[in-house]
Structure 1
Amino acid sequence: MKGIILAGGSGSRLGPLTRSTSKQLLPVFDKPMIYYPLSVLMLAGIRDIAIITTPRDRDAFIALLGDGSKFGVTLDYVTQDQPRGISEAFLLCANFIGDQPVTLILGDNLFYGHGLSGLVRESIAAPITGATVFSCSVSDPSRYGVATIDAEGRAIKIEEKPANPTSNLAITGLYIYDNTVVERARSLTPSARGELEITDLNRTYLEQGTLKVTPLGRGVAWMDTGTPDALLESSEFVRSLQRRQGLHIACLEEIAFRQGWISQDALAAAVAGLGASDYGRYLAEISNAGR
């Protein structure tokens, strides 16, 4: 299984914050935004990951994450000069995907909750045929792509920002596809706004009866951090949980260490490079405890 994080785009909804840096490098409380989607892939056991970014921001991502070895993963960087829709990710990463299935996550989406990793792991454990998207119940479905499903979780209908939605299940920015996704993306026609729409890609699976919708459930939070209000709300969410639980969300070195991807010596080396930050002190406690 390959993983892709789509972290390109102009971040116009966050201007002027994004005039000189990528949206996905902005902080969500105590860590860069991209740590959150990267942690979702890592917790699902996905270690071969491509990050799609802009030519301007590529070097900044490399400075932050390197080749991924300090997190026990392999990172490739793919540039996108202009945003042309989510489905373009599969065309840009066609060589990276090769003959494997792929999980795509949007770089400005934050997922957190009990059972999330299990849901994703379960979805990628069996041979991948078709597509799986993850839905979340929302109070304002007309703002999102919306799925209507049958009793077995198969999609009956998907609509993009419907005026009169037939469901309150919003399709989130987390998708799993079989290896036919690249050819399907190649067959798409750009929409009126000049983009290869993810809804159109999902419809190709829907028409064949191979689009599965997996609800995230009440215990999982999903946030799109692409506006100033959402960015602040996400930071407050992370801050509140970390202070209450004493555990850090999306701590990449911890995830890698607990999954046996990096050694205790590597964890100690990471601590040494983090100075006196709370993040560094948290990792130091884990390193010192040796667990």
Structure 2
Amino acid sequence: MKALVLAGGSGTRLRPITHTAAKQLVPIANRPILFWALDSIAEAGIREVGMIVGHTKDEVRAAVGDGSAFGLSVTYLEQPQPLGLAHAVSVARDWLGDDDFCMYLGDNVLLGGVAPFVERFGRPGRSEDALVLLAKVDDPTRFGVAEFDTEGRLVRLVEKPSVPPSDLALVGVYFFSPAVHDAISQIRPSARGELEITDAIDALITSGRIVDALAVDGFWKDLGDPEALLAGNRFMLLGIEGSVEGTVVDSSVDGPVVVEPGAVVERTVVRGPATIGRGARIVDAYVGPFSAIGPDCELRATEIQNSIVLAGARIDGVGPLDGCIIGRSAVVERRGHLPRATSVVVGDHSRLELA
């Protein structure tokens, strides 16, 4: 079985963070979202990965390389425009050949991995041509949604329905046999101008092919918006083991906390789960639970928790901060002179909440 990983798209819901970075490379627990997906694929025993890339292809290539760091062999496949998930499969048609494959959306995280589903779909004598994973969601109108008949059989998938037939949304991990290529050739662009994977799966069902559906038990998130990104950060931090390799001076470090090599923590209280990246400097501060402080950040006289601070950011004399995403090399500081009015520079598509 091969894996097709989607790492294109523009990440509009995560702007302004994604104005300067691929959304799949935004970190949770100080690792890019995409890396968690690649770990999951490797742990399932898949070795060949086709990676769909778009306008951020150079950044993705620089981060992932040839895949050997993950125990994978990665081939890059360029999708000139983001014309839908089924279109991405058609872009990869020649590379996929006649192999079964797992399609994994690179901005999703699935706690527990995909190994059980790879084993199920790869079993000898399998009758189904597709396996879709489902999870209950609060707002099904944002997702592809499953509809079942009275006997519990999957009969239809609806993309972003205004009246959802259920609260079971498609998780961003799919399994297909080569039969999906014929199904994609039968569909037409949706009202959004995209080739929808839900339409392709529907085409499999209507042609008499068997499509299996399983509900996932563990945590799953599409990390396409700030609230989901923070939730993904929290869940991934719950799984870390404490490791202090940096320098800790006159400080209290409690719970599972990672202090990476080169980081310095002085006169600071750190409550885990939390992670502090290489080269960061934290002085006279409080770093509360579910905080991921990126490499080369500087925090002084600051109180922060439940937040993501990206590489090179500086925060001075500010707090308490809760539920924040601070971009690369951003500066957040308290003015030390009069007048004390708040002064901000806020980029496009930002959101600022003031106490």
Match of 2:138 in 1: 139
Contact 1:132 1:175 in 2 (8 A): yes
Residue identity opposite 2:227 in structure 1: D
Return closer, same or farther for 1:238/1:183 CA change in 2, 3 Å cut-off.
same
Determine the C-alpha separation between the residues in 2 that align with 1:127 and 1:7.
Answer: 32
Letter in 2 for 1:235: N
Letter in 2 for 1:75: V
Alignment partner, residue 237 of structure 1: 235
Contact 2:187–2:203 (8 Å) recurs in 1 = no
- Bigger strand share: 2
Greater than 6 Å deviation, 4+ residue runs: 277-281
Asked if the contact 1:153/1:212 (under 8 Å) is kept, the reply is: no
Residues 184 and 64 of structure 1, relative CA distance in 2, 3 Å threshold:
same
- Checking the alignment, whether the CA contact within 8 Å between 1:153 and 1:213 is kept in structure 2 is no
Residues 183 and 201 in structure 2, CA contact (< 8 A), matched pair in contact too: no
Deviation at residue 96 of structure 1 after TM alignment:
0.9
> Unpaired runs of 5+ in structure 1?
248-273, 282-291
Bigger relative contact order (CA 8 A; separation at least 6): 1
Aligned match of 2:198:
199
Deviation string, structure 1 residues 150-197 (Cα, Å, up to 9, x no partner): 698641232223333332211111110111222322332111111001
Matched residues in 2 for 1:153 and 1:43: separation?
31
Partner residue of 1:250?
none
When normalised by structure 1's length, the TM-score is 0.77
CA distance in 1, matches of 2:138, 2:101: 30
Structure 2 counterpart of 1:224, which letter? D
Query: Does the 8 A contact of 1:45 with 1:121 survive in 2?
Result: no
Decide which moves more: 87-96 or 115-124: 115-124
Identity between Structure 1 and Structure 2 (%): 37
Matches within 5 A, 1:117-196: 117-126=115-124, 129-149=128-148, 154-196=153-195
Partner of 1:71: 70
- With normalisation by structure 2, the TM-score equals 0.64
Say if 1:150 and 1:69 are closer, same or farther in 2 by CA, change over 3 A. Answer: same
> Against the structure 1 CA distance between its residues 280 and 163, is the aligned structure 2 distance closer, same or farther, given a 3 Å change threshold?
closer
Change in Cα spacing, 1:35 to 1:168, as seen in structure 2 (3 Å) is same
The answer to whether the 8 A contact 2:171-2:220 is kept is: yes
1:276-291 matches, cutoff 5 A: 276=262
On the 8 A contact 2:157/2:199 being kept in 1, the answer is: no
Q: Give 1:65 shift.
A: 1.7
Measured on the aligned residues, the alpha-carbon RMSD in Å equals 2.6
1:276 positional shift: 4.9
Q: Point out where structure 2 has 5 or more consecutive residues left out of the alignment.
A: 244-259, 264-274, 279-355
TM-aligned CA deviation for residue 279 of structure 1: 9.7
Aligned pairs, number? 249
Query: Which 10-residue stretch deviates more, 166-175 or 141-150?
Result: 141-150
> 1 or 2, which has the higher helix percentage?
1
